Structure 1
Amino acid sequence: MNLLISGVTIVDPNSKFNQQIADVRLEQGRITAIGSKLTVKGEEVIDGKGCILSPGFFDLNCAIGDPGFETREDIATATETAKAGGFTGLAVLPQTKPVIHSKAEVAYIVNKAKNNLVDIFPIGAVSHDLEGKELAELYDMKLAGAVAFSDGSRPITDDGFMSRALQYAKGFDGLLMVYPENKSIAGKSQINESRNSVLLGMKGLPALAEEMHISRDIFLAGYHDAPVHISNISTAGSVLLVRKAKKEGLKITCDVAAHQLVFTEELLGDFDSNYKVKPPLRGKADVKALLAGLKDGTIDAVSSQHRPYEIEFKNVEFEIAAYGIIALQTVLPLLLKAGLDAVQIAAKLAVNPRKLLGLAVPVIEEGAAANFTLYNPAEEWLYNADSNFSKSANSPLMNKKLTGKVKLVYNNKQLQVYG
């Protein structure tokens, strides 16, 4: 489909048109012209006034249920949900059934996700069955299409195993993405350890559990001179640790979930299980530190931490509810609410995630293949059962008005327009 987007603000740090208002012409999947007052040549025209044109968003940390838990989310619904959130690429975690721990499961994801507007990339498990005992088929999975390796929402607790995994992955430039939690300290915690957890009478998860685990991985990354990506950091102390490691030249990168930049533990007073996430919602000082870390480059990227669950896993008492929320459609509104500008959103949500995985970064330039997201940062919309594309509905933002609306996404010669 040929398309002309008129009067749009281009925000792409890799484009010479960055932060310029222009018309953008699209023909046969390529950007053929960028300029002012382009002549309409019979193509569909979309008014881009007041909107931002960014490289397509990419998510580093998305759990879907396919294979095995398709009642939560399958590849088709994950794709629809991602498009509505402005994502043209997803890296999907291996916590499925069977676990993505061999080339067969990687090939299943790659083949099932073919010919989509949304590019889907499997992340292979570090350990067989996510048990943290036996190395999975890392090299074979990479050859089959895995872009990184992670045990998903499970921390790698055995120090020796983590050390061996780093050594092995380094041999073929494999990237390990780790969830930071010291299980022996975390125990059966429910929420952040603080005055609030005492008031609510619930077991608290101390920041120490996250920070000790990060300290270990930083030490091992330095010892092996190998890259480690830390997923979903949540504390001020974690930001300090990563900042120091980067200054020392260690190969440490990290991301933060969008909801950790807005939600705090004060929201838990009503025991709404839709606010139950892991790592838990922290305090205001942590949120401030996370935002500062994003702005100074300590935190490389923002992720959705999309975790769909059937109603019976969330519509229960807080103590037994599953951890996690659906998030692909709400990342953009949360980042805008957190105060990120369009330049920061493009960097942390489109460019850096792909760089971390060694993937090609789309650019808004003449002659380039079109892979972009158009959104209106000021438009309000209602997030409810009608606008939710996920199979699941475990979001604390359900039935609320949000600001920041995706208008269209384009990738792989496919267009999706939203009203």
Structure 2
Amino acid sequence: MNLLIRSAKIIYPNSPYHNQVSDILIEDGIITSIEKDISADYESFDAAGSMLMPGFFDLNCNIGELGNETKEDLQTGTSAAAAGGFTGLALMPNTQSPVHSKAEVEYLVNKSKGNLVDVLPLGTISNKREGKDMAELYDMYRSGAIAFTDGNRPVQDAGLMERAMLYTKGFNALIFSYPEDTAIAGKAQVNEGEVSTQLGMKGIPALAEELMVARDLYLAEYTNSPVHFSTISTKRSVQLIREAKKNGIKVTCDVAAHHLVVTDNELNSFDSLYKVKPPLRTRQDVDALIDGLNDGTIDAIVSQHTPHEVEYKDVEFEIASFGIIGLQTAFSLALKAGLTPELIAEKLSVNPRKILGLGPVKLEVGAKANFVLVDPNISWDYAKTTNFSKSENSPYIGQTLNGKVLLTINNNQQFKNTSK
């Protein structure tokens, strides 16, 4: 792939080119020149008014393969990722069967080779995600799993979580915690509060999340091991993690993009497309999440891409499945939340790779081209025709969103967004 990008504003935190407007020449997928004005007899892309950032990396992506390919397969999932500006995905192990041994890890690693999007499987903490016995963590690590989580099933057994933290510490792997105390959350569907009372529905208290955050912070401190919290959603969770960081506990966390812009007030219409877990919270929680991003308490933004067939969502709210697709909307929602381009680059590109211990994406001569070109001032129509996912369970399909991904480049391949 040979390409000349003209007049792009570079948004690369910690790069000497940060905030500069430059031309970038790519030859065979490698950056060969970064100058104010480059002449080359190659295809060119006019990037005037656009911003060039490191390719986004998603720490929380669900793809049905293995076993649930009717929801999403690797081809459609990575296509949606590229359309959303993602050049890397950490795949949750919520598949059938779960990614709980080296066989599943090796299948996903081999199946995704040669893709524009780098795919990194996450292995389960427990065998079959049952929360009882520890899975084959080291075997999975050697096969390519660099972190471990039971996905959307919290590890209720504190002893199991402690052993997993201690064990993975020996080979520098990372444990992801999905913080929910199921004994407190029960089978409720929405956030506990005024809206749940008005709707006449049993709510999930913020306490269900916060108890598990507190527990796993204690375990991380006791074992002197790192822990990463997936999709925190409450004000108190932000406060707990902020204090833990001040006290030197090795903790990182992320937030789903939709939790930054939508509150539980959207549920008054009983629209099952807004049924997610953790549930949509209050405006006070949303404001605390945004504050946490701005002050560094929250390290990353994730899509929490969770595809479903129509029969799992186009049903009564109480029996609908949790989750929405989010790979193509994460950047637009981050903009809608009022985040600056610099902060978006940090939370969607730089920090996710840092959390996983991956090397940074470099913008320099001789480096592999791995970046996304976005225009925060261009609107685009998210429609069924512009949706690259196999599933359509997004409340944003049919809406016009601000902030368009124009070009995604990685692994000597490019995705050019020609939709309007």
Please give the TM-score of this superposition, normalised by the length of structure 1.
0.99
**How many angstroms does 1:366 deviate by?**
2.0
Q: Which amino acid aligns with 1:7?
A: S
**How many angstroms does 1:183 deviate by?**
0.6
Distance 1:356 1:4 in 2: 32
Say whether 1:406 aligns with 2:396: no
Q: How does 1:97-112 map to 2 (within 5 A)?
A: 97-112=96-111
Per the alignment, residue 168 of structure 1 pairs with 167
**How many angstroms does 1:138 deviate by?**
0.2
Q: How does 1:236-251 map to 2 (within 5 A)?
A: 236-251=235-250
Q: How does 1:231-270 map to 2 (within 5 A)?
A: 231-270=230-269
Distance 2:244 2:338 in 1: 26
Distance 2:164 2:338 in 1: 38
Per the alignment, residue 52 of structure 1 pairs with 51
Q: Which amino acid aligns with 1:5?
A: I
Deviation string for 1:264-316 (max 9, x for gaps)? 01110000000000000000011110000001100000000000000010000
Distance 1:252 1:176 in 2: 10
Per the alignment, residue 62 of structure 2 pairs with 63
Per the alignment, residue 9 of structure 1 pairs with 9
Say whether 1:78 aligns with 2:77: yes
Distance 2:175 2:225 in 1: 9
Distance 1:329 1:44 in 2: 26
Distance 1:326 1:131 in 2: 25
* Kept after mapping to 2: 8 A contact 1:14/1:363: no
The share of aligned pairs that are identical, in percent, is 56
Per the alignment, residue 311 of structure 2 pairs with 312
Say whether 1:34 aligns with 2:34: yes
Per the alignment, residue 347 of structure 1 pairs with 346
**How many angstroms does 1:254 deviate by?**
0.3
Per the alignment, residue 135 of structure 1 pairs with 134
Give secondary structure in 2 for the equivalent of 1:386. helix
Per the alignment, residue 177 of structure 1 pairs with 176
Distance 1:330 1:240 in 2: 27
Distance 1:42 1:416 in 2: 21
**How many angstroms does 1:367 deviate by?**
2.0
Distance 1:4 1:172 in 2: 42
Give secondary structure in 2 for the equivalent of 1:379. strand
Distance 1:170 1:7 in 2: 45
Distance 2:367 2:164 in 1: 38
Q: How does 1:203-242 map to 2 (within 5 A)?
A: 203-242=202-241
* Kept after mapping to 2: 8 A contact 1:191/1:203: yes
Q: Which amino acid aligns with 2:26?
A: L
**How many angstroms does 1:397 deviate by?**
0.4
Give secondary structure in 2 for the equivalent of 1:34. strand
RMSD in angstroms over aligned alpha carbons?
0.7
Per the alignment, residue 369 of structure 1 pairs with 368
* Kept after mapping to 2: 8 A contact 1:239/1:299: yes
**How many angstroms does 1:207 deviate by?**
0.5
**How many angstroms does 1:416 deviate by?**
1.4
Structure 1 residue runs of 5 or longer lacking an equivalent are none
Q: Which amino acid aligns with 2:24?
A: V
**How many angstroms does 1:22 deviate by?**
1.0
Q: Which amino acid aligns with 2:379?
A: E
Deviation string for 1:112-165 (max 9, x for gaps)? 000000000000000001000010000000000001000000000011111111
Q: Which amino acid aligns with 2:237?
A: S
Distance 2:263 2:415 in 1: 34
Deviation string for 1:205-229 (max 9, x for gaps)? 1111100000000000000000010
Deviation string for 1:4-28 (max 9, x for gaps)? 1111100001310001111111111
Distance 1:75 1:2 in 2: 26
Q: Which amino acid aligns with 2:330?
A: V
Per the alignment, residue 355 of structure 2 pairs with 356
Distance 1:161 1:411 in 2: 38
> How many pairs align?
418
Per the alignment, residue 95 of structure 1 pairs with 94
Q: Which amino acid aligns with 2:70?
A: T
**How many angstroms does 1:174 deviate by?**
1.5
Distance 1:64 1:303 in 2: 14
Give secondary structure in 1 for the equivalent of 2:184. helix
Distance 1:245 1:82 in 2: 33
**How many angstroms does 1:403 deviate by?**
0.7
Distance 2:389 2:333 in 1: 18
Deviation string for 1:324-353 (max 9, x for gaps)? 000000001100100111101110000100
**How many angstroms does 1:364 deviate by?**
1.5
* Kept after mapping to 2: 8 A contact 1:16/1:365: no
Q: How does 1:376-415 map to 2 (within 5 A)?
A: 376-415=375-414
**How many angstroms does 1:198 deviate by?**
0.3
Distance 1:178 1:23 in 2: 42
Distance 2:340 2:24 in 1: 22
* Kept after mapping to 2: 8 A contact 1:24/1:35: yes
* Kept after mapping to 2: 8 A contact 1:59/1:87: yes
Q: Which amino acid aligns with 2:229?
A: I
Q: Which amino acid aligns with 1:70?
A: E
* Kept after mapping to 2: 8 A contact 1:372/1:409: yes
Give secondary structure in 2 for the equivalent of 1:335. helix
* Kept after mapping to 2: 8 A contact 1:308/1:393: yes
